[in-house]
Structure 1
Amino acid sequence: METLSNLESFVRSAELASFSEAARRLALTPAAVSRNVAQLERNLGVRLFQRSTRGLTLTEAGERFLQAVSGGLDSIQAAIAGVSTQAGQPAGTLKLSAAPGFARDFLLPLMPAFLDRYPAVRPDWHLDNRQVDLIAGGYDAAIGGGFELTPGVVARELARIKIIAVATPGYLRGRRLPRQPADLRDFDGIVMRSAITGRLRHMALRNGAGQEQLTELTPRMTMTEPDGMVQMVLMGMGVALLAVPNVLQYLESGQLVRILPDWADDAGAISLYFASHKLLPAKTRALVDFVAQSFREQELARRFLA
């Protein structure tokens, strides 16, 4: 009978088309993964991969074998993760991804209570504004918006996100308030520039009647990430269009005010993303349920609507 390590090395190598990437995912050396796959091929008496300098390609036999074993392997791993814990409690390293600002304001404050409840879990946070590949990167979960639901990944919606116009009361003092998005051209703009394309992001705002207008902020300063924009707005440098979670604490404290309260852009949902195992590892299930419950208790879905 084949060992679990041989089967796992084969399945991950097939998914990632690389012994090196599979090794990184499995915390093994590339040589160990290659050895495991070679032993599996010897035991089966068939070649599962075509190896070349460009990477790995499954043979016809490899394709059939992958279809036969991959689902079962995921179930076995999830079952092991669910039972091989201390006194049946969730345990192990929990690899997580989130944007730095959102994690700082809404996720990291949950960790003391989460770890009090699940002391055998070790959260491993990777904070970056980039979207990650959950499967290839070996993440247990990611929290954010706009992730592509690739095969094997599911999403649990936490809240809807609105983009709104904000400024400080001091900046607005003595100025005539805008009545529609087009009026923002008369204000200093703190404008987002795409770090990928280099283009300025001009957003369209909509009101409750379904009308839509493109904003025309005159850039006084451009930035490639929202946390810096928030700081510039707080310094009274101008008006910015920002997602409500980025500015919620400042709106609620009165440091910032919302301009054009009837106008906003729907930026989609903020969700928990995780692998769609039939038997989700206990550590991942614990996090998903804990975060979802905390969002409900704090009424963040309502508060994010500003």
Structure 2
Amino acid sequence: METLANLESFVRSAETGSFSAAARRLALTPAAVSRNVAQLERNLGVRLFQRSTRGLTLSEAGERFLQTVQSGLDSIQGAIADITVNAGQPAGVLKLSAPPGFGMDYLLPLMPAFLARYPAVTPDWHFDNRPLDLITGGFDAAIGGGFELPPGMVARELGRLHVIAVASPAFLRGKRRPKDPAGLAELAGVVMRSPMSGRIRSYTMRNSAGAEMAVVQKPVMTVNGPDAIFPATLLGLGVGMVAVPHARPHLESGALERLLPDWHCDVGPISLYFTSQKLLPAKTRAFVDFITEALRAQKLAQTLQKVRL
């Protein structure tokens, strides 16, 4: 009878395409994962992987074996995770990826209460605006948008983020206000370059009647992330397409003015990403449930969209 360690090393190596990535998921060394897979191959009498300097490729026999054992292994791990959740105290390092702005504004304020409830959990946070490979990176959870969902990952939507056009009163002094998004081309703009594609980020705005129009901006400054657009706009460098939560307090104070008040851009959902619930460790389940409940109580979905003026 094969050991669970050998089977798990094989399945995770097949999913990630490398012993090193599998080792990070399993909290083992790459050498240990490699030994487990080699022992499994010796016991079965077949080669499961074709090894090269570029990584691992499943052999034909490996493909068939993976299809046979993967669901069974997931069921066993799900049973173990269920026991841990229901009988054990959530504990261990919780590796999380989140955008810097969202993490600082919404997650950090929740941490005193979370850690008071689960003192044995140690958050290991990585603040990054780029979508990451959650499985290969060994992340327990991530918050953001635009992630591709590999097998075994799910997304729980927290709300949809709206972006609006804003500028400082000093910048707007003496300038004609645009009547529609195309009119933004007449004003200097602080624009964002996608860190993934290197291209200038484009937006399509929609009004209350359902009409849509592309945003045209005249770049005066280009930045590589949304967190830099907001302070540059506050400094009066130009018009910025800014997320509603960042803009709201400064619109209320008068430090910023909203252009095109009937227009907004829906940039998509902000979601909480994690592995399939059947496989959740206690620490991850505790975090997912706590954060979801807390952000719902704070009415995050409405906060991401509505401007109170």
TM-score, normalising length: structure 2: 0.90
Please state whether the residue corresponding to 1:132 is helix, strand or coil.
coil
Q: Is the 8 A contact 1:96 1:126 kept in 2?
A: yes
Alignment partner, residue 32 of structure 1? 32
Alignment partner, residue 75 of structure 2? 75
Alignment partner, residue 171 of structure 1? 171
Note closer, same or farther for the CA distance 1:197–1:157 as it changes in structure 2 (3 Å cut).
closer
Alignment partner, residue 91 of structure 1? 91
Matches for 1:1-306 after TM superposition, within 5 Å: 1-84=1-84, 88-306=88-306
Paired letter, 1:148: E
Please state whether the residue corresponding to 1:105 is helix, strand or coil.
helix
CA-to-partner distance for each residue in 1:39-86, whole Å, 9 max, x for gaps? 122223333223334432223332232222222323333443443479
Whole-angstrom CA distance in 2 between matches of 1:108 and 1:252 = 24
Note closer, same or farther for the CA distance 1:7–1:294 as it changes in structure 2 (3 Å cut).
same
* Percentage of matched positions with identical amino acids: 66
Q: Could you tell me how far 1:33 is from its partner in structure 2?
A: 1.4
Q: Which moved more, 1:292-301 or 1:264-273?
A: 292-301
Please state whether the residue corresponding to 1:163 is helix, strand or coil.
strand
Q: Is the 8 A contact 2:21 2:138 kept in 1?
A: no
CA-to-partner distance for each residue in 1:148-201, whole Å, 9 max, x for gaps? 222221111100111210122343344443322233233221112233444333
CA-to-partner distance for each residue in 1:65-118, whole Å, 9 max, x for gaps? 222222232333344344347962222211111111211111122111111111
Note closer, same or farther for the CA distance 1:294–1:251 as it changes in structure 2 (3 Å cut).
farther
Paired letter, 1:284: T
Q: Aligned-residue CA RMSD in angstroms?
A: 2.3
Whole-angstrom CA distance in 1 between matches of 2:154 and 2:97 = 15
CA-to-partner distance for each residue in 1:2-34, whole Å, 9 max, x for gaps? 222212211111112222322233332222211
Paired letter, 2:240: A
Note closer, same or farther for the CA distance 1:281–1:84 as it changes in structure 2 (3 Å cut).
closer
Please state whether the residue corresponding to 1:136 is helix, strand or coil.
coil
Whole-angstrom CA distance in 1 between matches of 2:186 and 2:161 = 26
Q: Could you tell me how far 1:262 is from its partner in structure 2?
A: 0.6
Paired letter, 1:37: V
Q: Is the 8 A contact 1:160 1:270 kept in 2?
A: yes
Please state whether the residue corresponding to 2:263 is helix, strand or coil.
coil
Whole-angstrom CA distance in 2 between matches of 1:76 and 1:144 = 30
Note closer, same or farther for the CA distance 1:283–1:253 as it changes in structure 2 (3 Å cut).
farther
Whole-angstrom CA distance in 2 between matches of 1:284 and 1:61 = 34
Note closer, same or farther for the CA distance 1:202–1:44 as it changes in structure 2 (3 Å cut).
closer
Whole-angstrom CA distance in 1 between matches of 2:14 and 2:88 = 32
Whole-angstrom CA distance in 1 between matches of 2:3 and 2:69 = 13
Please state whether the residue corresponding to 2:237 is helix, strand or coil.
coil
Note closer, same or farther for the CA distance 1:170–1:9 as it changes in structure 2 (3 Å cut).
same
Paired letter, 1:93: V
Whole-angstrom CA distance in 1 between matches of 2:249 and 2:222 = 23
Q: Is the 8 A contact 1:227 1:246 kept in 2?
A: no
Q: What is the number of equivalent residue pairs in this alignment?
A: 306
Instruction: Give unpaired runs (5+ residues) of structure 1.
Output: none
Whole-angstrom CA distance in 2 between matches of 1:92 and 1:86 = 16
Q: Could you tell me how far 1:222 is from its partner in structure 2?
A: 1.5
Q: Could you tell me how far 1:206 is from its partner in structure 2?
A: 1.5
Whole-angstrom CA distance in 2 between matches of 1:252 and 1:118 = 37
Whole-angstrom CA distance in 2 between matches of 1:247 and 1:78 = 43
Whole-angstrom CA distance in 1 between matches of 2:108 and 2:118 = 15
Whole-angstrom CA distance in 1 between matches of 2:198 and 2:278 = 42
Whole-angstrom CA distance in 2 between matches of 1:172 and 1:152 = 49
